[in-house]
């Protein structure tokens, strides 16, 4: 048995006749105390399991292909709408609309927006999901050999495709999680590797780890993983110059790589006339103010969604793998090595980031996917524990079942298409140059209608945070550029934002209800007339 696998066992439990089999009573107490020997690397990289990787990738492509023609959700439609009009002369970072998301995410949507086919963003999500699968495979090889590669790849592919985590959508969490998992895989290769390729792997890990927060701000796991590896190694190195030298060179290479995406974003911001302070305020400062707004609202919705989040974590199997990691690995033991602490830190940080998010939408759970994939790969040497194999199988089965159920719902329940069908009705009833405002949020209605909005806040949270008294909204509705259409997806006094009734009185003066589409009143400006299309089936 290699030193790599012996490092997973408690003292006194080695059995040379058992090969890589482990009895059920064994506990994982430490991970990767020493670099992977060349023989282990060769064994992990054998060709026999490669067809499994191809089958996992094919399954992910087939599952995600079923999502391509399903309707875009609020975030996807809003980001596409903002990306289509992205220009440097607007009031905000990306033009005329306020978007509190980093530039690399908007760049992905900008690429999708180069075509007039809205589902292109779902197509672009497929290679990111495949990147997560391949990265999980690579990381699993390092952590648990062939079985670890399979378990990590299956876990990553299933969780990056399951509707239980809203992974059917092409949202920021999906793209960022793929970059994080790729960064973790490269970091493990660099940490356990030898020769000149080691530092190049570390630089690549730094680039991807630095890029992930530029897709979704809170995805810092790649940087955290590398930092914990270095910190634990240095604390335990004592006077060993070899260990200290390897840890220091690894840290320098990761830091060098991580600086690259930030320098590129700084250059873009400077060329567009935005300061670092503006970037900080829009991308980070806003999140703190928004959190206060969420919890100051008189609504039980966040608490209800937090309970839903726990249920979805269990149904998807994600929390089962996380629980297995803490139960079997016991990472708090003093013997735990740098990688064990790093995996634990990634999972712990992900949980804290989810709690700090405040809104608790299902896609928040995608933050735990990179750490969960690593945990599955690291637990693979405990193959004799059949229940862990059942857990990984449950994760994969849930993903496929969720895909089938979601597809059936979209075919059988017209109401789930309400945003797209409302937008299509607007497009059929409107004229070129018409504009619209949706109260509040649901910008995918505007994207489906191919209509611009004169009001810059496409989502409810920026409106409640940056325009809490609705001063700008009222100015927009009573000004010369007042929107042609007003779609009331939510009531005008939702969250008690119009307690004095000023907005409602203004709307009654300037607009009239002309239709109810998919359960939402649609209002037309009182001084205009339009030939209305027949209402869609919802």
Q: What is the pLDDT of residues 205-232, one digit of tens each?
A: 999 999 999 999 999 999 999 999 999 9
- Return the pLDDT at 387: 63
Tell me whether residue 535 is in a domain. Answer: no
Kindly state the tokens that stand for 148: 């670890």
Quickly state the pLDDT bin for 377 (edges 50, 70, 90). Answer: very high
CA distance 418 to 403: 20
Report whether pLDDT(38) > 60. no
Q: Which of 348, 380, 409 is the last residue of a domain?
A: 409
CA distance 161 to 56: 11
- Return the pLDDT at 45: 42
Report whether pLDDT(242) > 60. yes
pLDDT digits (tens, 9 = 90+) for 292-313: 888 777 667 778 888 999 999 9
Distance of CA 172 to the CA centre of its chain: 5
- Return the pLDDT at 36: 36
The verdict on 37 and 170 lying in the same domain is yes
Tell me: cis bond preceding 440? Omega within 30 of 0 counts.
Answer: yes
Place of tokens 């067809």: 51
Helices (H), 414-489: 418-429, 444-449, 460-466, 471-478
* Residue 24 vs residue 163, higher pLDDT: 163
Helices (H), 413-456: 418-429, 444-449
Mean local confidence (pLDDT), 449-459: 95
Q: Is 72 helix (H, G, I), strand (E, B) or coil?
A: coil
Tell me whether residue 494 is in a domain. Answer: yes
- Return the pLDDT at 194: 82
Query: Residue 33 gets which letter from DSSP?
Result: S
Provide CB contacts within 8 A for 277, sequence distance 6+: none
The verdict on 76 and 131 lying in the same domain is yes
Give, in order, the Cα–Cα distances in Å from 479 to each of 352, 429, 441, 476: 44, 23, 21, 5
pLDDT digits (tens, 9 = 90+) for 44-62: 444 455 788 999 999 999 9
Sheet holding 436-439, edge to edge: 436-439, 485-488, 520-525, 511-517
Mean local confidence (pLDDT), 314-318: 90
Asked if 358 contacts 352 with a C-beta cutoff of 8 angstroms, the reply is no
CA distance 85 to 96: 8
The verdict on 383 and 457 lying in the same domain is no
- Return the pLDDT at 37: 32
CA distance 23 to 27: 9
- Return the pLDDT at 62: 93
Kindly state the tokens that stand for 495: 């969250």
In this structure, of 90-104, 111-125, 229-243, 328-342, the range with the lowest mean pLDDT score is: 328-342
pLDDT digits (tens, 9 = 90+) for 322-375: 998 988 777 666 567 899 999 999 999 999 999 988 888 999 999 999 999 999
* Residue 470 vs residue 538, higher pLDDT: 470
Tell me whether residue 223 is in a domain. Answer: yes
Tell me whether residue 179 is in a domain. Answer: yes
Provide CB contacts within 8 A for 431, sequence distance 6+: 530
Asked if 221 contacts 269 with a C-beta cutoff of 8 angstroms, the reply is no
Kindly state the tokens that stand for 216: 């979704």
Kindly state the tokens that stand for 246: 């390897």
The verdict on 393 and 459 lying in the same domain is no
φ/ψ (deg, to 5) at 86: -60, 120
- Return the pLDDT at 414: 65
Quickly state the pLDDT bin for 29 (edges 50, 70, 90). Answer: very low
Tell me whether residue 530 is in a domain. Answer: no
* CA angle at 192 for the pair 186 and 195, rounded to the nearest 5°: 90
Count CB atoms within 10 A of the CB of residue 526.
11
- Return the pLDDT at 359: 84
Q: Which of 409, 439, 462 is the last residue of a domain?
A: 409
The verdict on 437 and 373 lying in the same domain is no
The verdict on 397 and 421 lying in the same domain is no
Residues 252, 257, 261, 262, Cα dihedral to 10°:
0
Of the chain, the percentage scoring pLDDT greater than 90 comes to: 61
Mean local confidence (pLDDT), 129-150: 94
Mean local confidence (pLDDT), 90-99: 92
The verdict on 361 and 404 lying in the same domain is yes
The verdict on 17 and 159 lying in the same domain is yes
Q: Which of 409, 431, 449 is the last residue of a domain?
A: 409
The verdict on 394 and 464 lying in the same domain is no
Helices (H), 318-368: 318-329, 338-357
Range of the domain at 452: 416-525
The verdict on 384 and 439 lying in the same domain is no
Count CB atoms within 10 A of the CB of residue 410.
17
Quickly state the pLDDT bin for 117 (edges 50, 70, 90). Answer: very high
* Residue 470 vs residue 8, higher pLDDT: 470
The verdict on 403 and 443 lying in the same domain is no
Q: Is 437 helix (H, G, I), strand (E, B) or coil?
A: strand
Mean local confidence (pLDDT), 416-427: 90
In this structure, of 193-197, 200-204, 227-231, 415-419, the range with the lowest mean pLDDT score is: 415-419
Tell me whether residue 252 is in a domain. Answer: yes
Instruction: Work out the mean pLDDT of the chain and round it to a whole number.
Output: 86
- Return the pLDDT at 404: 80
Kindly state the tokens that stand for 321: 């793998």
CA distance 340 to 336: 6
Distance of CA 92 to the CA centre of its chain: 24
Report whether pLDDT(107) > 90. yes
Kindly state the tokens that stand for 292: 């206060």
CA distance 325 to 267: 42
CA distance 8 to 144: 10
In this structure, of 110-119, 235-244, 495-504, the range with the lowest mean pLDDT score is: 235-244
The verdict on 453 and 391 lying in the same domain is no
Q: HSE (CB half, 13 Å, CA atoms) of 191?
A: 31
φ/ψ (deg, to 5) at 68: -60, -45
Tell me whether residue 536 is in a domain. Answer: no
Domain count, the chain: 2
Asked if 339 contacts 191 with a C-beta cutoff of 8 angstroms, the reply is yes
């Amino acid at each position: 048995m290699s030193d790599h696998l012996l490092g997973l066992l408690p003292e006194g439990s080695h059995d040379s006749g058992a090969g890589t089999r482990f009895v059920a009573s064994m506990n994982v107490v430490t991970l990767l105390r020493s670099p992977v020997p060349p023989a282990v690397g060769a064994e992990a990289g054998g060709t026999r399991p490669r067809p499994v990787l191809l089958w996992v990738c094919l399954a992910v492509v087939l599952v995600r292909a079923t999502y391509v023609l399903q309707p875009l959700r609020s975030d996807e439609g809003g980001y596409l709408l903002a990306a289509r009009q992205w220009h440097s002369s607007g009031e905000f970072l990306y033009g005329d609309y306020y978007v509190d998301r980093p530039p690399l995410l908007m760049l992905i949507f900008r690429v999708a927006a180069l075509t007039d086919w809205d589902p292109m963003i779902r197509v672009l999500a497929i290679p990111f999901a495949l990147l997560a699968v391949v990265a999980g495979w690579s990381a699993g090889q390092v952590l648990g050999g062939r079985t670890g590669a399979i378990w990590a790849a299956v876990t990553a592919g299933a969780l990056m495709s399951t509707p239980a985590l809203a992974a059917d959508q092409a949202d920021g969490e999906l793209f960022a999680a793929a970059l994080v998992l790729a960064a973790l895989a490269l970091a493990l290769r660099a940490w356990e590797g030898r020769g000149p390729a080691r530092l190049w792997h570390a630089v690549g890990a730094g680039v991807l780890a630095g890029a992930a927060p530029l897709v979704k701000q809170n995805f810092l796991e790649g940087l955290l993983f590398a930092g914990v590896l270095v910190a634990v190694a240095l604390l335990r190195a004592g006077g060993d110059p070899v260990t200290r030298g390897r840890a220091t060179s690894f840290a320098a290479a990761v830091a060098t790589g991580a600086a690259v995406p930030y320098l590129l974003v700084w250059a873009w911001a400077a060329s567009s006339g935005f300061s670092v302070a503006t970037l900080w305020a829009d991308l980070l400062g806003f999140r703190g103010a928004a959190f206060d707004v969420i919890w100051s609202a008189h609504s039980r919705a966040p608490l209800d969604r937090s309970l839903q989040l726990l249920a979805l974590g269990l149904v998807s199997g994600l929390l089962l793998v996380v629980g297995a990691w803490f139960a079997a690995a016991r990472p708090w033991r003093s013997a735990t090595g740098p990688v064990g602490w790093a995996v634990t830190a990634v999972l712990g940080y992900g949980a804290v980031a989810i709690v700090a998010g405040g809104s608790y939408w299902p896609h928040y759970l995608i933050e735990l996917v990179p750490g969960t994939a690593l945990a599955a790969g690291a637990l693979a040497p405990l193959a004799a524990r059949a229940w862990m194999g059942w857990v990984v199988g449950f994760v994969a089965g849930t993903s496929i079942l969720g895909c089938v159920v979601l597809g059936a719902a979209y075919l059988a329940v017209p109401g789930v298409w309400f945003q797209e069908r409302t937008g299509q009705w607007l497009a059929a009833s409107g004229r070129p140059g018409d504009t619209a405002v949706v109260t509040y949020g649901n910008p995918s209605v505007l994207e489906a209608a191919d209509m611009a909005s004169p009001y810059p806040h496409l989502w409810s949270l920026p409106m409640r945070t940056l325009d809490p008294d609705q001063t700008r909204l009222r100015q927009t509705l009573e000004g010369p550029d007042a929107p042609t259409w007003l779609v009331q997806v939510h009531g005008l006094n939702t969250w008690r934002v119009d307690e004095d009734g000023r907005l409602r009185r203004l709307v009654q003066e300037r607009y009239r209800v002309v239709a109810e589409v998919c359960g939402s009143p649609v209002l037309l400006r009182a001084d205009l007339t339009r030939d209305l299309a027949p209402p869609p089936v919802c």
